[in-house]
Structure 1
Amino acid sequence: MTLPKGAADTDRPQLYGADYSVYVRIARLALLEKGVAYNLLPIDIFAESGIPDSHLARHPFGKIPALEHGDFHLYETGAITRYVDEAFDGPALQPADAKSRARMNQIISIADGYIYPHLVWGLYVECIEKPKRGEAPDEDRVESARGVAPISLTVLADLLSEHRWMCGDRLTLADLYLAPMIDYAVEVPEFREMFAEHRNLGDWWQRVTALDSFRDTQPSS
């Protein structure tokens, strides 16, 4: 994807990855919320031909996303999103005070450690993606995810409280991390029912889905 902001192609960050990836989408959301023009260069790490050597040179662990900005090379979504926030003009995506920033980092850690493995892989992939491919879900994995889902939602609802966004009145990286993960998880009917039990999360989700950046980064498939 190219976001037209008038910058020359050579000045734009180059983001490598696939648009279906949760973590690529997080990086794209951060770039868009900062108003940064960028190019998305497709890399499919699940391709039958394997991971290209050129990408392994960018990311030795063979993951996505990876970022190039001029002669600066970076991988790991946490590093990329913080770099984007700090290197470019635009609205700050990290709180200025220590307590709120710590809360943001806590929520990101929750997303990485519990939401992504259990709600995306344990529920969405097992209950939605595998049946589409004619594969049987791993019931043990689904059962484990079912146990984590209500705890995760209660924790997020408690942290959100009556705020507009996860860390207060302003959008932060915490919201951008959760958004692509929740977007997959709500496709699972039983998770959607759990989610609907938390009014404040529903209000937050309406604000998330109204973001131009969220709509502009919807996966193509």
Structure 2
Amino acid sequence: MSAATVAGPPPRLFGASYSVYVRIARLVLAEKGVACEQVPVDVFAPDGPPPDYRQRHPFGRIPAFEHDGFRLYETGAITRYVDEAFAGPALQPAAPRARARMNQLIGIADAYAYPALVWGVYVERVEKPERDMPANEAAIAAALPPARICLAAMAELMGEGPWLAGATLSLADLHLAPMIGYFLKAPEGAAMFAGFPALADWWARLAGRPSLALLAAEE
């Protein structure tokens, strides 16, 4: 699918830099070469997000997005809009089967990888101790088996690659990247990931891209 450049001011992305889903949107914007204003919104602030934020996202989650008066929420809708509305390299395969594979991988990421890799492992093993909170060892132990299933599924669906949905970088790679990046910060995550050589090679290719390097520099 060819992208059509949409006229108007630079888009605005509402959310916090730590958020996996804000990071996904930022990666897609960076890969498309789209300048974007990020407006800080912390949903974990003591009083929650600003009251007027629910006009942008009625469920009070992040990110939300606006471009020339057009508002969106839900990361998948945002990233597909950015890919289709702006010039730059296409991030969705044109072939129906490859596009279906991309969407399948994104679905796996949202439904299974995010709860296990991020909340079950990274938050418990890395983020909580950084905030002087004890890790829930039972939660980590419970998250590791589904995390392994996620990695095995990704490796199988990836096939010969070199990217998750085939020969070219797609939204699937960028959707999973922040989840994998956080998972690898946990010793259990790094050890498990090393057991999937094809994924390790994929991550090395992805982590070397300027878009990923930009996020890494902010950590």
- Among residues 94, 97, 110, which one is paired with 1:96 in the alignment? 94
Partner Cα separation in structure 2 for residue 217 and residue 65 of structure 1: 16
Deviations for 1:107-144, whole angstroms, at most 9, x for unmatched residues? Answer: 00000011101110000001111122222223332122
Partner Cα separation in structure 2 for residue 100 and residue 113 of structure 1: 20
Is 2:84 the counterpart of 1:69? Answer: no
Matches within 5 A, 1:66-215: 66-215=64-213
Question: What displacement does 1:219 show?
Answer: 7.0
User: How many residues matched?
Assistant: 213
Q: Secondary structure at the match of 1:67?
A: strand
Partner Cα separation in structure 2 for residue 50 and residue 146 of structure 1: 30
Partner Cα separation in structure 2 for residue 143 and residue 190 of structure 1: 10
Partner Cα separation in structure 2 for residue 100 and residue 74 of structure 1: 26
Cα RMSD after superposing both structures: 1.4
Code of the aligned partner of 2:66: E
Contact 1:20 1:220 in 2 (8 A): no
Contact 1:85 1:92 in 2 (8 A): yes
> Structure 2: which 5+ residue stretches go unaligned?
1-6
Partner Cα separation in structure 1 for residue 63 and residue 153 of structure 2: 28
Deviations for 1:160-183, whole angstroms, at most 9, x for unmatched residues? Answer: 222110011100000001100000
Contact 1:119 1:181 in 2 (8 A): yes
Partner Cα separation in structure 2 for residue 193 and residue 86 of structure 1: 37
Contact 1:122 1:141 in 2 (8 A): yes
- TM-score, scaled to structure 1: 0.92
Code of the aligned partner of 2:62: I
Deviations for 1:63-118, whole angstroms, at most 9, x for unmatched residues? Answer: 11000101100000000000001111111110111111110010000000111011
Q: Secondary structure at the match of 1:136?
A: coil
Contact 1:20 1:219 in 2 (8 A): no
Q: Secondary structure at the match of 1:73?
A: strand
* Match in the other structure for 2:4: none
* Match in the other structure for 2:55: 57
Q: Secondary structure at the match of 1:74?
A: strand
Question: What displacement does 1:54 show?
Answer: 2.0
Contact 1:19 1:219 in 2 (8 A): no
Partner Cα separation in structure 2 for residue 50 and residue 201 of structure 1: 37
> Structure 1: which 5+ residue stretches go unaligned?
1-7
Partner Cα separation in structure 1 for residue 13 and residue 86 of structure 2: 15
Greater shift in the superposed pair: 136-145 or 184-193: 136-145
Q: Secondary structure at the match of 2:17?
A: coil
Partner Cα separation in structure 2 for residue 186 and residue 217 of structure 1: 15
Question: Which aligned segments of 4 or more residues in structure 1 are displaced greater than 6 angstroms?
Answer: none
Partner Cα separation in structure 1 for residue 208 and residue 133 of structure 2: 34
Partner Cα separation in structure 2 for residue 61 and residue 176 of structure 1: 24
Partner Cα separation in structure 2 for residue 199 and residue 118 of structure 1: 20
